A and B are shown apart, each in its own frame.
Chain A
Amino acid sequence: MTEAHHHEEHHGELPFWRKYIFSTDHKVIGIQYGLTSLVFLFFGFSLMMLMRWQLAYPGKPLPIGFLVKWLGDSRMPGGIMAPEFYNQLGAMHGTIMVFLGVVPLAVGAFGNYIEPLQVGAQDMAFPKLNMSSYWVYFIGGVVMLCSFFVSGGSAQSGWTSYPPLSDVTPQSHSLFTGQSMWLTGMVFLITSSLLGSVNTITTIIQLRAKGLTWMRLPFFVWAQLVTGFLLLLAFPPLEAAGVMQLMDRMAGTSFFLPSGLVVGGKALNVSGGGSALLWQHLFWFLAHPEVYVLILPAMGIVAEVIANNTRKPLWGYKSLVYSVIFLGFMSFIVWAHHMFLTGMGTAINAFFQTTTMIISIPSIIILTALILSLWGGSIRFNVPMLFALAFLPMFGIGGLTGLPLGLASADIHLHDTYYVIGHFHYVVAPGTLFALFAGIYYWFPKASGKQMNETLGKWHFWGSLIFMNGIFLPMLIQGLAGVSRRLYDGGVSYLHAEHVLYLNKVMSHSAWALAVVQLIFIVNFFWSLFAGRKVTSDNPWEATTLEWATPTPPPHGNFLKIPEVYCGPYEYSAPGEDKDFHPQNEPYKKPGDQNNQEKR
Chain B
Amino acid sequence: MSTAIEIPYNSTERPDTGLYNAKLGVWLFLASEVMLFGALFSTYVLLRTGADTWEHGAEFLNVPLATINTMVLIFSSVTMVMSWASLKMKNFGKYKLYMGLTFLCGVAFLVIKSFEYAAKFEHHLLPSTSTFMALYFTMTGLHGLHVIGGMIVNGYLWGPGSKMWQTDPERFTNRVEVAGLYWHFVDLVWIFLFPTLYLLPGK
Q: In their complex, do chains A and B touch, with some C-beta pair under 8 Å?
A: yes
Q: Which chain A residues have a beta carbon within 8 Å of chain B's beta carbons?
A: 1-2, 5-8, 10-11, 13-14, 19, 25, 121-123, 125-127, 129, 194, 197-199, 201-202, 205-207, 232-237, 239-241, 243-244, 247, 251-255, 270-271, 273-275, 278, 282, 285, 555-557
Minimal beta-carbon separation of A190 from chain B (angstroms) = 10
- What residues of A have a CB within 8 angstroms of the CB of B7 in the complex? 121-123, 125, 127, 207
The reply to whether B2 and A11 form a contact with Cβ atoms under 8 Å apart is yes
Can you list 9 A-B contacts (CB < 8 A)? A1-B9, A198-B32, A237-B38, A247-B138, A251-B126, A251-B127, A254-B131, A255-B131, A555-B1
Partner among A14, A125, A244, A555 whose Cβ is within 8 Å of the Cβ of B138? A244
Q: Which residue of B lies closest to A228 (CB)?
A: B28
A203 to B23, CA, bound (A): 12
Minimal beta-carbon separation of A54 from chain B (angstroms) = 37
- What residues of A have a CB within 8 angstroms of the CB of B43 in the complex? 240, 244, 255, 278, 282
- Return the 7 tightest CB-CB contacts between A and B, nearest first: A252-B128, A253-B134, A236-B36, A237-B39, A240-B39, A236-B35, A273-B131
The reply to whether B38 and A252 form a contact with Cβ atoms under 8 Å apart is no
The reply to whether B50 and A207 form a contact with Cβ atoms under 8 Å apart is no
In the assembled complex, B89 has its CB within 8 A of some CB on chain A: no
- What residues of B have a CB within 8 angstroms of the CB of A122 in the complex? 5-7
Given A247-B127, A273-B130, A556 contacting B47 (CB threshold 8 A) = no
Minimal beta-carbon separation of A6 from chain B (angstroms) = 6
Given A255-B134, A278-B43, A556 contacting B127 (CB threshold 8 A) = no
Q: Which residue of B lies closest to A250 (CB)?
A: B127
The reply to whether B134 and A202 form a contact with Cβ atoms under 8 Å apart is no
Minimal beta-carbon separation of B201 from chain A (angstroms) = 18
- What residues of B have a CB within 8 angstroms of the CB of A121 in the complex? 7
Minimal beta-carbon separation of B137 from chain A (angstroms) = 8
Q: Which residue of B lies closest to A125 (CB)?
A: B21
A-contacting residues, B6-26, CB 8 Å:
6-9, 12, 14, 17, 19, 21-22, 24-25
Partner among B8, B21, B51, B127 whose Cβ is within 8 Å of the Cβ of A2? B8
In the assembled complex, B166 has its CB within 8 A of some CB on chain A: no
Given A202-B24, A243-B142, A13 contacting B1 (CB threshold 8 A) = yes
A-contacting residues, B79-137, CB 8 Å:
126-131, 134, 137
Q: Bin chain B's interface residue count.
A: 35 or more
A551 to B191, CA, bound (A): 53
Given A1-B9, A123-B7, A271-B130, A202 contacting B38 (CB threshold 8 A) = no
The reply to whether B47 and A275 form a contact with Cβ atoms under 8 Å apart is yes
- What residues of A have a CB within 8 angstroms of the CB of B31 in the complex? 232-233
The reply to whether A556 and B9 form a contact with Cβ atoms under 8 Å apart is no
The reply to whether A271 and B32 form a contact with Cβ atoms under 8 Å apart is no
A274 to B132, CA, bound (A): 10
Supply 14 further A-B pairs (C-beta < 8 A) apart from A10-B4, A202-B24, A251-B127: A8-B3, A11-B3, A122-B7, A127-B5, A198-B25, A232-B32, A236-B32, A236-B38, A247-B138, A251-B134, A251-B137, A271-B128, A271-B134, A275-B47
The reply to whether A205 and B1 form a contact with Cβ atoms under 8 Å apart is no
A10 to B3, CA, bound (A): 7
Given A237-B35, A255-B43, A123 contacting B28 (CB threshold 8 A) = no
In the assembled complex, B29 has its CB within 8 A of some CB on chain A: yes
- What residues of A have a CB within 8 angstroms of the CB of B38 in the complex? 236-237
Given A240-B43, A275-B47, A232 contacting B9 (CB threshold 8 A) = no
- What residues of B have a CB within 8 angstroms of the CB of A243 in the complex? 138, 142
Minimal beta-carbon separation of B121 from chain A (angstroms) = 12
A122 to B5, CA, bound (A): 7
A121 to B46, CA, bound (A): 46
The reply to whether B2 and A8 form a contact with Cβ atoms under 8 Å apart is yes
A569 to B28, CA, bound (A): 27
A285 to B127, CA, bound (A): 25
Q: Which residue of B lies closest to A129 (CB)?
A: B25
A-contacting residues, B37-64, CB 8 Å:
37-40, 43, 46-47, 50-51
Partner among B4, B40, B130 whose Cβ is within 8 Å of the Cβ of A7? B4
Given A6-B6, A273-B131, A202 contacting B47 (CB threshold 8 A) = no
Given A125-B7, A233-B35, A198 contacting B28 (CB threshold 8 A) = yes
Partner among B5, B35, B36, B137 whose Cβ is within 8 Å of the Cβ of A123? B5
In the assembled complex, B33 has its CB within 8 A of some CB on chain A: yes
A123 to B131, CA, bound (A): 47
The reply to whether A198 and B29 form a contact with Cβ atoms under 8 Å apart is yes
A491 to B106, CA, bound (A): 59
Q: Which residue of B lies closest to A19 (CB)?
A: B1
- What residues of A have a CB within 8 angstroms of the CB of B17 in the complex? 205-206
The reply to whether B25 and A202 form a contact with Cβ atoms under 8 Å apart is yes
- What residues of B have a CB within 8 angstroms of the CB of A14 in the complex? 1, 3
Given A123-B5, A198-B28, A255-B134, A275 contacting B128 (CB threshold 8 A) = no
- What residues of A have a CB within 8 angstroms of the CB of B8 in the complex? 1-2, 206-207
Minimal beta-carbon separation of B49 from chain A (angstroms) = 10
Most chain-B CB neighbours within 10 Å: which of A13, A198, A252, A282? A198
Given A1-B8, A233-B32, A254-B131, A282 contacting B3 (CB threshold 8 A) = no
- What residues of A have a CB within 8 angstroms of the CB of B29 in the complex? 194, 198
Partner among A7, A25, A197, A206 whose Cβ is within 8 Å of the Cβ of B14? A206
- What residues of B have a CB within 8 angstroms of the CB of A241 in the complex? 39
A23 to B21, CA, bound (A): 21
- What residues of A have a CB within 8 angstroms of the CB of B33 in the complex? 236
Most chain-A CB neighbours within 10 Å: which of B3, B40, B50, B138? B3
- What residues of B have a CB within 8 angstroms of the CB of A274 in the complex? 47, 131
The reply to whether A207 and B127 form a contact with Cβ atoms under 8 Å apart is no
A244 to B42, CA, bound (A): 13
A449 to B90, CA, bound (A): 50
- What residues of B have a CB within 8 angstroms of the CB of A278 in the complex? 43, 46-47
The reply to whether B39 and A282 form a contact with Cβ atoms under 8 Å apart is yes
The reply to whether B134 and A247 form a contact with Cβ atoms under 8 Å apart is yes
- What residues of A have a CB within 8 angstroms of the CB of B127 in the complex? 247, 251-253
Q: Which residue of A lies closest to B2 (CB)?
A: A10
The reply to whether B1 and A2 form a contact with Cβ atoms under 8 Å apart is no
